[in-house]
Amino acid sequence: MKFSLINIFILTFIVFIFFACTNDYLEVKGHIINIESSELNKIDKLTLKDFEGKVWILNGNNKSYSHFSSHHLKEHQISRHPVIIKYEKINKDLSIVSIKDGDENGH
């Protein structure tokens, strides 16, 4: 079967789209140590300690995260209910993408 230039272009385009749609998000699960917030519903920085004892400093970029106001995250910090943070690495910063409950009860 011969491949024409158009077929090669289409195949290359499909492969490019596939890889462009995948993300490089990573996750960390642990207990909140500290929350920095200048506004009630926005997070500047969040410090988390994972279950191996590693401390993570994640940038909230002064954004809101659904169902996770700084007040709700403070409750997680006090009660020691874990959270799962999905993040992406941008240069040396770990930028929060999403936050969700880390226990089965869905605190």
Give the model confidence (pLDDT) of 17-48 as tens digits: 555 555 679 999 999 999 998 888 899 999 99
Q: Where are the alpha helices (DSSP H) in 4-68?
A: 5-21
- 14, two tokens: 């499909």
Q: What is the pLDDT of residue 31?
A: 97
* DSSP-derived pairing of the beta strands 26-36 and 93-101: unpaired
Q: Closest Cα to residue 33, out of 105, 89, 83, 90?
A: 83
Q: Which residues contact 24 (CB under 8 A, 6 or more apart)?
A: 88, 89
Ordered domains of the chain (ranges, CATH): 25-101 (2.40.50)
SS3 67: coil
Average pLDDT over residues 59-86: 91
